[in-house]
Amino acid sequence: PAELKAKITSIAKSFKRLGQDDPRRVTHSFKVGFALSLVSLLYYARPLYDGFGVAGMWAVLTVVVVFEFTVGGTLSKCLNRGFATFLAGGLGLGADYFASLFGKKGEPIVLGILVFLLAAAATFIRFFPRMKARYDYGVLIFILTFSMVAVSGYRVDELVVLAHQRLSTIILGGATCMLISIFICPVWAGEDLHNAVASNLEKLATFLEGFGGVYFLSCRDEGSDVDSKDGNGKSFFQGYKSIMNSKNREESLVSLASLHSTWEPGHGRFRLRHPWKHYLKIGALARQCAYHIEVINACIGSHIHASEEFKGKIEGPCSRMSAECGRALKALATSMKTMTDPSSAKSNVENTKAAMKDLMFALKAASVENADFLAIAPAAAVGSVLVEIARCVEKISEAVH
> Which range, of 75-83, 190-198, 334-342, 365-373, touches its own copies by CB under 8 A?
365-373
Which of 292, 311, 327, 330 binds its own copies (CB under 8 A)? It is 292
Q: Is 312 in the site for its own copies (CB under 8 A)?
A: no
End-to-end CA distance of the chain: give it in Å, rounded.
Answer: 61
CA distance 342 to 347: 10
Reading phi first (left if > 0) and then psi (alpha if -120 to 50, else beta), residue 231 is in left
Which of 94, 161, 374, 398 binds its own copies (CB under 8 A)? It is 374
Least Cβ distance, residue 362 to its own copies (angstroms): 9
Residue list 235-254, contact with its own copies (CB under 8 A): 248, 251-252
Q: Is 10 in the site for its own copies (CB under 8 A)?
A: no
Binding footprint of its own copies, residue count (CB under 8 A)? 82
- Which parts of 232-307 fold into alpha helices (H)? 232-260, 276-301
Q: For its own copies, give the closer residue by CB, 97 or 116.
A: 116
Q: Is 394 in the site for its own copies (CB under 8 A)?
A: no
Residue list 118-177, contact with its own copies (CB under 8 A): 118-121, 123-124, 127-128, 140, 143-144, 147-148, 151-152, 154-155
18 exposure class (CB count in 10 Å sphere: 0-12, 13-18, 19+): exposed
Q: For its own copies, give the closer residue by CB, 60 or 226.
A: 60
CA distance 375 to 366: 13
- Which parts of 158-188 fold into alpha helices (H)? 159-183
Q: Is 288 in the site for its own copies (CB under 8 A)?
A: yes
- CB atoms near residue 94 (< 10 Å): 13
Q: Is 102 in the site for its own copies (CB under 8 A)?
A: no
Give the burial string for 362-371 (b: 16+ CB within 10 Å, else e): bbeebeeeee
Is residue 375 within 8 A of residue 310, CB to CB? The reply is yes
Q: For its own copies, give the closer residue by CB, 138 or 342.
A: 138
Q: Is 280 in the site for its own copies (CB under 8 A)?
A: no
Residue list 330-359, contact with its own copies (CB under 8 A): none
Q: Where are the beta strands (DSSP E) in 133-203?
A: none
3-state secondary structure of 270: strand
In 3-state terms the chain splits into helix, strand, coil percentages (rounded to 5) of: 85, 0, 15
3-state secondary structure of 267: strand
Which of 202, 371, 394, 395 binds its own copies (CB under 8 A)? It is 371
Which of 136, 294, 315, 394 binds its own copies (CB under 8 A)? It is 294
Residue list 39-78, contact with its own copies (CB under 8 A): 40-41, 43-44, 49, 54, 57, 60-61, 64-65
Q: Is 29 in the site for its own copies (CB under 8 A)?
A: yes
Which of 10, 13, 16, 30 binds its own copies (CB under 8 A)? It is 30
